[in-house]
Amino acid sequence: MSKPYIGRFAPSPSGLLHFGSLIAALGSYLRARSQNGKWLIRVEDIDPPREVVGASDDILRALEAYGLTWDDEVLYQSTRTEAYLAQIEQLLLKEKAYYCRCTRKMVREMGGSYDRRCFHLSEKLNEGAIRVLNDSPVYQFEDKLKGLVNVPLIFAEEDFIIKRSDGLFAYQLAVVLDDHYQGITEVVRGNDLLDATCRQISLFKILGKDEPDWLHLPLASEKVGFKLSKQNHALPIDINNPQKTFQAALLFLGQPEVELNSDISQMVAQAVLQFELESVPSAHEVLI
């Protein structure tokens, strides 16, 4: 018997929800609910310098306004520090992670991919960034929408950073530990994280944990190569009149429109019933 489906949406509170992040939220929601699964929210607030005050609450209000109701309590990564630290300690102890003090400039001079030199030092460092010893490189993986995805070799093989030299935990570590902790069976998110997936699978292997399934959605771009993002100053979605934007998001995901209703939860329910994964575009990006 297969495991009950558990999906998630994992926003970083570095700004308000825009159309691009709505796509990731709606796509993961429809996929989870159409499998009679749970849908969890995880706020990825482990990068205080990039956090915008009030953004996590605003994101949750926006999800509510769009009728995307979640299960269980929201998980805030800022509450998971001890688990991250414990895992890093264990990896260091087993010599599956090591300190590194090389700068970005040095890595560029190595050809853009870290050459593991700090691991080979006869006298090990005990401060700096921490890298995982990537003895399980992953070059391709199966995506539920795109089929077999290949990732650049140089990226897949690198000993990537799991704790930064400024003391912050790296996204790759936190996301893997939390997807495992929350029992996520399938990760649904945007194509901007395709390459990151290979590192996350490597980390699941290194930690001896089962990896979830993967499904990556097209990016919403205003012109080729320019996805909507907070960095590109994408406009926040309208939370007072969500109906029109909701329909646009459905169309973007290749789904049929639903009947307009002042009660957005009715529209969401119909969208779940109509959801067809095969109709979601498998392209890298879709222009809006």
CA 23 to chain centre: 13
Nearer to ligand GLU, 44 or 51 (CB): 44
Q: Which of 65, 175, 253, 268 binds ligand GLU (CB under 6 A)?
A: 175
Output the smallest distance, CB 273 to ligand GLU, in A: 25
- What would the two tokens of residue 287 be? 């222009």
**186 is an interface residue for ligand GLU by CB under 6 A:** no
Longest Cα pair distance anywhere in the chain, in angstroms?
68
Nearer to ligand GLU, 193 or 277 (CB): 193
**11 is an interface residue for ligand GLU by CB under 6 A:** yes
Nearer to ligand GLU, 44 or 159 (CB): 44
Nearer to ligand GLU, 35 or 197 (CB): 197
**102 is an interface residue for ligand GLU by CB under 6 A:** no
Phi and psi torsions of 77, nearest 5° = -65, -25
Nearer to ligand GLU, 157 or 192 (CB): 192
Nearer to ligand GLU, 33 or 189 (CB): 189
**12 is an interface residue for ligand GLU by CB under 6 A:** yes
Q: Contacts with ligand GLU in 188-207 (CB under 6 A)?
A: 189, 193
Report the alpha-carbon distance of residue 104 to residue 257 in Å, rounded. Answer: 47
**10 is an interface residue for ligand GLU by CB under 6 A:** yes
Total residues contacting ligand GLU by CB under 6 A comes to 7
Of 7-15, 64-72, 84-92, 257-265: span binding ligand GLU (CB under 6 A): 7-15
Q: Classify residue 6 by burial, with Cβ atoms within 10 Å: 0-12, 13-18, 19+.
A: buried
Q: Contacts with ligand GLU in 36-55 (CB under 6 A)?
A: 44
Nearer to ligand GLU, 8 or 131 (CB): 8
Output the smallest distance, CB 193 to ligand GLU, in A: 6
Output the smallest distance, CB 266 to ligand GLU, in A: 28
Residues that bind ligand GLU (CB under 6 A): 10-12, 44, 175, 189, 193
